Amino acid sequence: MIQARGSVLAKRHRSRWPIERRAPISALPMDDVRLKKIRFRAWHRGFREADLILGPFADNHVHLLTLEQLDRLEALMEENDHDIYGWIIGRFETPPAFDHDVMDMLKTFRFEAFAARGEGQGA
């Protein structure tokens, strides 16, 4: 009985609202999945100031990074948000383990984003 109802509903659903067919996440290339995860993590840090630097940076740059740079970015994002933010804005000295090309890109991006937003609109 339940099966019959499901069939009727499925037929009705197909006839009224076409379902958009998407590839399951497992069918996407691994790089696409990895980049989506990095972008999500960059935007959902839990510390708004870090979100506003790491999120746009990820949106604009992750597709251009090498695999090694992606590894460094992921390792960096494992650190405390307040520390990352302090390193980017220069409040704290960047530890040698994180003083690399990706951190330099983040620091440069921070100034580019600040210039684009204008005076008084954030770090």
Encode pLDDT of 48-61 as tens digits: 999 989 999 999 99
pTM of the entire predicted model? 0.69
In 3D space, the residue among 58, 56, 24 whose CA is nearest the CA of residue 38 turns out to be: 58
Kindly state the percentage of the chain with pLDDT values over 70. 67
In a domain, 90, yes or no: yes
Q: Which domain holds residue 67?
A: 28-117
CA angle 38, 41, 44 (to 5 degrees): 150
Residue 104 phi, psi dihedral angles, 5° rounding: -60, -40
Would you state the pLDDT for residue 87? 96
Q: What is the pLDDT of residue 113?
A: 72
Number of domains in the chain: 1
In a domain, 13, yes or no: no
* CATH code of the domain in which 58 resides: 1.10.150.250
DSSP structure class, residue 95: P
- As a whole number of angstroms, the distance between CA 77 and CA 37 comes to 12
pLDDT bin (cut points 50, 70, 90) of residue 111 is confident
